[in-house]
Structure 1
């Protein structure tokens, strides 16, 4: 490979060594980003332009970008130049998860898992999503404001567990109780202190997290062993069965690797979808015209506007805002800047999605902008792009679509002029601060 390719060559030759830097102590930068991330990033972009450097504990030197051309260059770079940002949640979900893989092994794992989250599998899981939505909404209060965040959490957890294990029973009930607790601890800790490879388990801030993970392993590992001996394994469509059938001499996965993967998929499979669903209802409460059109469409059996609405919600309220890559090549030349090896490069989706050159009048909530236009990179990146685009993106959009359709078929959502809910960083996703407050009445 040439030095130019190894450097991640862009059209413009490097003319400056370092992007503008945030001139604050590392600890102050970390506190500001933890407490006021989006406001701070937006302010720094305004001050420094579409690329700047910051430096925080654990993650070290980082670069943030929002310019579409720079974003395109980052997501087009090969895995020999850029890999998954470091440290990432694989340090907590385990080395067997897809988050820990790069290059060929990452590609092979994606190819193995893809059938569970695309194509016919989406239709297969639709009835489960409807069932879970109807079961959860059966006790919703009428004419009384409530937060949809917790109901949506229960729906998405149940759906991902059914997709992964394909079974019910006491064991799954235990996983249903433990897995969300573990995910919340993992992602909350990841914001402040990524997991060290060597640590004292008895006296450490990670003790409770480790206890829950050991409890999950004690439940899931025997489930894997029984699935291996299942005479109907070849007929099963769940993720566990796919992983077991996909093991070969070249792609050997131990039971612990599979356990890591399943736990990671549970965490990735419910939190972002829960936040997105909460934002959907938060937005519709404040946009009666869109809601009226959606209700009319669902009665007529359509779905184009509903899908466009979901895409617009994810544009205006991205739930995961800083997908990143780590520079593994000697350096990355990016739009005239030279980014050294060992730096993380993060894309600010909240700022990219508000670019008026890509989305005219970006402050407007306008699903119509996506009715006749396919959402595409580098403008719309709610699920990332390139080799590390979220594996479950299609599954998540389909789940949101089916939940929203089912709710609209059974409820009237009240609208009013309530102020927008502010965004709150829950673990690593942005959700409505008040949980997406709504008021509903049942359709007769």
Structure 2
């Protein structure tokens, strides 16, 4: 089976496979040589790397190590569309079926060099601190609405609840109040799109019958049309408004570069999709993992609740108060370290390069393991332990601790996500205590992001001082990543 066997094995357990490779071969290792075509149609090898020095080189040499649109090797170039137009249509996807891929989940991921710098300049006003701070009230209102539905002694899927909450926050802040259920539907499709994209069955690329590829193309078409409808409606509305609306999409529409140029319709669709999908998916996983970790560390949870009550006295935090909650800050940092929502960052080597003595030809698909960097014992002693107190003793560099990446490609929404996570935790933990169900199994699912594989059912209790449970309650392969003893 060769390459295919290794790719399938990696797809089933990316962290487990790379862990074994790093232990056996060192911090830079090749899984396969030859055509891989995961993130590029011209992919010539698949290499994994970890370490602060590696991170510094890759994340700062922007013109040498490129990003790619999330459709990856499935992104259709002009040549691919021309070939599709001339091909036998019985099994092959037509240009009309492939065209929507060119806008879906592209955005900043799809541009490099000067073009990336231009796009980032146009997006920056939407992520200015004053604009992010202004979203606090929306986050509080939507969190209150979700928590008001919780009842004492209920069993709820916390992952599903956090998904619902973060996608509604993303819908409101990105698209504005008018997106409503259309935005919720879009988020659900994005989630299925990502899981389907990384299914091994996608190797069979026939647009016919019940194939997974056909389903993925259907999802791509529906996501593209839904996003396009929202963008066009917002553009039409902006023409009749004197002031720019407070949502992010309105800011993107109004943005102008130094030469007066603006984002065109295709670019707006691509950016809106990436901001929306990445904005709620990563925050969802960060919240779910943090709540799970707290449920298994009752002493830390008790101390955190004491801090929240002492400062906030049952109220939602203001933006200023978020800076007066050091344990909350440490808990969030430690959660993002031990279970990073985006554990692997892909890059494409744009020109022949050398990485710490290893030759990487142009076209190499390079995967940075943020998870393994965050578990380096030389930087983070006893790295498998959930220990928020470590943050009062260490100050890692941005290349040692980078849940939001670093350098020119640092996540533009990092401040938004951090504020959202802290607000939700502060409000939830003052009202409720959560318990993992006895004998619960928690396995990891890793694609671009890392999430609980089969949800996270937990029992909801009214807030009290009886945080219990503990390591004995948890089964599953999450124990390979976290020491619960």
Corresponding position: 1:440 with 2:460: yes
1:357-387 Cα distance to aligned partner (Å, 9 max, x none): 0001111111111246455321112111111
Corresponding position: 1:257 with 2:278: no
Contact 1:280/1:310 (<8 A) preserved: yes
Structure 1 residue 260: deviation in Å? Answer: 2.3
Q: Kindly tell me: are residues 199 and 87 of structure 1, through their superposed partners in 2, closer, same or farther at Cα, counting changes over 3 Å?
A: farther
Contact 1:318/1:382 (<8 A) preserved: yes
Contact 1:175/1:219 (<8 A) preserved: no
Contact 2:434/2:459 (<8 A) preserved: yes
Q: Kindly tell me: are residues 53 and 264 of structure 1, through their superposed partners in 2, closer, same or farther at Cα, counting changes over 3 Å?
A: same
Q: Aligned partners of 2:251 and 2:14: how far apart in 1?
A: 38
Corresponding position: 1:174 with 2:157: no
Partner of 2:276: 266
Partner of 1:27: 4
State which of 30, 42, 54 in structure 2 corresponds to 1:53.
Answer: 30
1:40-64 Cα distance to aligned partner (Å, 9 max, x none): 1101111111110123732341211
Contact 1:147/1:438 (<8 A) preserved: yes
**Which sections of structure 2, spanning at least 5 residues, go unmatched?**
76-100, 312-323, 465-485
Partner of 2:90: none
Partner of 2:444: 423
State which of 222, 225, 228 in structure 1 corresponds to 2:232.
Answer: 222
Q: Kindly tell me: are residues 416 and 253 of structure 1, through their superposed partners in 2, closer, same or farther at Cα, counting changes over 3 Å?
A: closer
Contact 2:122/2:256 (<8 A) preserved: no
Q: Aligned partners of 2:139 and 2:216: how far apart in 1?
A: 34
Contact 1:354/1:362 (<8 A) preserved: yes
Q: How does 1:363-442 map to 2 (within 5 A)?
A: 363-371=384-392, 373-374=394-395, 376-414=397-435, 421-425=442-446, 427-442=447-462
Q: How does 1:45-444 map to 2 (within 5 A)?
A: 45-55=22-32, 57-59=36-38, 60=43, 61-79=45-63, 81-85=64-68, 88=71, 91=75, 92=101, 94=103, 97-168=107-178, 171-177=179-185, 179-192=186-199, 204-217=214-227, 219-234=229-244, 236-248=245-257, 249=259, 251-301=261-311, 302-329=324-351, 331-371=352-392, 373-374=394-395, 376-414=397-435, 421-425=442-446, 427-443=447-463
Contact 2:103/2:224 (<8 A) preserved: no
Contact 1:423/1:433 (<8 A) preserved: yes
**Which sections of structure 1, spanning at least 5 residues, go unmatched?**
1-23
Q: TM-score, normalised by structure 2?
A: 0.78
Q: Kindly tell me: are residues 251 and 404 of structure 1, through their superposed partners in 2, closer, same or farther at Cα, counting changes over 3 Å?
A: same
Contact 2:190/2:277 (<8 A) preserved: yes
Structure 1 residue 233: deviation in Å? Answer: 3.1
Q: Aligned partners of 1:251 and 1:344: how far apart in 2?
A: 33
Q: Kindly tell me: are residues 116 and 368 of structure 1, through their superposed partners in 2, closer, same or farther at Cα, counting changes over 3 Å?
A: farther
Q: Aligned partners of 2:11 and 2:379: how far apart in 1?
A: 28
Structure 1 residue 419: deviation in Å? Answer: 7.1
